[in-house]
């Protein structure tokens, strides 16, 4: 009785839950933590954009540049970083290279503010809020001109962000489904299908958002390849974690990397200079931010494409695939990955035949339709043969001599009489 109680307690966990409920408890606790972290991350990054050293250019006298700088930074928080340019073409060239977000040209009448919503729509909105103060500084009403406008169906500049978001999520979700439903594949086959899946999904996304729906004037070939690399990176990162920590928990670090950190820091919904310092830094070096910047360059600034986002994507693609390949080969080899839980084999009875009446032991581990064994009666117990209709003892089928078998049967019969007599 005491041993039974101890065994029951060892099979239980706090709050009186059975041990089989432990995984469910762990998952519930993790999701309880991840939930508010997810909401807080997006809220902190994009809920209240605050400028910090946003670069803008000023064309005109030094006095105007100084006055504009003091007007924009009236709080003393260094919201804007104002730079002087000798001419409007020089400033426009910097605007096209995305070195600055706006130009205030006070050398003409009326004074003109050149913005680039393609670089960051949120910066243009921020300058619009300071319109009256800037007009007071230059002494005339301001004229706003958008040098690089967004697509008509994307006034807030979110389509590229949604493409990058969908690419990362579909990248690791596709890898999850492939690893779960196609287990018996070699490493080469895994890579082959990851590449094929990434190319196929990225192509359909590019065609539907671009030529089919016309939401964005996308250059199909470069955007297709950028999205395909992004999806491949997300799938390789998940695959690496699946090999190192197991398929049950591999989604957790992948989700934290791409969804909780990389997406809100990408600069797709809010310009990087308006993000908190942590998100601005992470967005520059994580795949999602590099994807947004690369697609923005080839779509809106084809003559001033930056090399940095492509280098970042290349490093992530090479590093994640190498880490996945090395971890998989070291643990499982080049062939297919075995199941994490071994498949149960056929149960073999370990009960000695000398302790079980021969009439109750089946002749094989596979159940067979046989007639029920008649109840044991005094006449059958005292006899030297089995009751009619019963099956032969396994002891008689395993090569045991008949005499020894009868001796064992006599012992069973004697035991049966002792039980009945108690």
pLDDT above 70: residue 12: no
Distance of CA 62 to the CA centre of its chain: 51
- CA-CA distances (angstroms) from residue 389 to 356, 373, 375, 397? 18, 7, 11, 17
Chain segment 223-253, per-residue pLDDT in tens: 999 999 999 999 999 999 999 998 888 999 9
Supply the DSSP symbol for 209: I
Which contiguous run of DSSP H or E holds residue 13?
strand 12-13
The model's pLDDT over 332-351, given as tens digits with 9 standing for 90+, comes to 888 777 665 444 444 444 44
pLDDT category at 394 given cuts 50, 70, 90 is very low
DSSP 257: I
Average pLDDT over residues 307-318: 97
Per-residue burial over 113-127, b = 16 or more CB atoms within 10 Å of its CB, e = otherwise: bbbbbbbbbbbbebb
Q: What is the mean pLDDT of the chain?
A: 79
pLDDT at position 316: 97
**Interval 208-221 mean pLDDT:** 94
| pLDDT of amino acid 278 | 92
* 30-44 pLDDT, tens digit each: 889 988 998 999 888
pLDDT score recorded for residue 416: 44
CA torsion through residues 400, 405, 411, 412, sign? positive
What are 332's two structure tokens? 């499982």
Q: Give 118-175 pLDDT, tens digit per residue.
A: 998 888 888 888 788 778 777 778 889 999 999 999 988 899 999 999 999 999 999 9
What would the mean pLDDT of 310-335 be, rounded to a whole number? 93
How sure is the predictor about 79, in pLDDT bands with cuts at 50, 70 and 90?
confident
Distance (Å, rounded) from C-alpha 182 to C-alpha 179? 5
Sorting pLDDT into bands at 50, 70 and 90, what band is 374?
low
Q: Which two tokens stand for residue 200?
A: 């196929």
């Amino acid at each position: 009785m005491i041993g039974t109680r101890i065994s029951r307690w060892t099979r239980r966990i706090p709050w009186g839950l059975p041990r089989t409920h432990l995984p469910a408890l762990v998952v519930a606790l993790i999701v309880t933590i991840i939930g508010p972290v997810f909401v807080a991350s997006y809220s902190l990054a994009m809920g209240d954009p605050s400028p910090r050293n946003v670069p803008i250019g000023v064309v005109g006298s030094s006095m105007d540049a100084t006055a504009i700088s003091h007007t924009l930074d009236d709080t003393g928080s260094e919201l804007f970083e104002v730079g002087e340019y000798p001419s409007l073409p020089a400033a426009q060239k910097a605007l096209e290279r995305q070195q600055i977000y706006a130009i205030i040209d006070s050398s003409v009448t009326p004074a003109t503010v050149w913005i680039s919503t393609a670089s960051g729509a949120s910066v243009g909105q921020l300058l619009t809020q300071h319109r009256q103060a800037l007009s007071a500084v230059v002494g005339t009403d301001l004229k706003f001109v958008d040098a690089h406008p967004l697509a008509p169906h994307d006034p807030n500049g979110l389509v590229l962000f949604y493409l990058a978001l969908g690419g990362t999520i579909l990248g690791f979700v596709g890898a999850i489904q492939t690893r779960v439903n196609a287990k018996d594949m070699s490493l080469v086959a895994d890579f082959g299908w990851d590449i094929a899946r990434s190319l196929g999904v990225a192509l359909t996304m590019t065609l539907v958002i671009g030529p089919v729906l016309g939401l964005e004037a996308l250059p199909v070939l470069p955007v297709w390849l950028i999205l395909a690399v992004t999806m491949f990176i997300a799938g390789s990162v998940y695959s690496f974690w699946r090999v190192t920590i197991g398929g049950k928990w591999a989604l957790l670090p992948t989700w934290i990397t791409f969804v909780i950190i990389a997406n809100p820091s990408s600069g797709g919904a809010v310009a990087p200079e308006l993000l908190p310092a942590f998100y601005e830094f992470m967005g520059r070096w994580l795949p999602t931010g590099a994807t947004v910047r690369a697609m923005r360059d080839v779509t809106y600034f084809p003559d001033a494409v930056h090399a940095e986002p492509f280098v970042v994507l290349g490093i992530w693609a090479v590093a994640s695939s190498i880490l996945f390949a090395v971890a998989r080969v070291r643990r499982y080899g080049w062939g297919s990955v075995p199941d994490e839980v071994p498949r149960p084999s056929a149960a073999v009875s370990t009960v000695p035949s000398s302790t079980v009446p021969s009439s109750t032991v089946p002749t094989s581990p596979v159940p067979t339709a046989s007639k029920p064994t008649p109840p044991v009666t005094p006449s059958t117990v005292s006899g030297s043969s089995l009751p009619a209709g019963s099956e032969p003892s396994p002891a008689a089928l395993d090569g045991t001599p008949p005499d020894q078998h009868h001796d064992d049967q006599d012992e069973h019969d004697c035991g049966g009489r002792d039980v009945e007599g108690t």
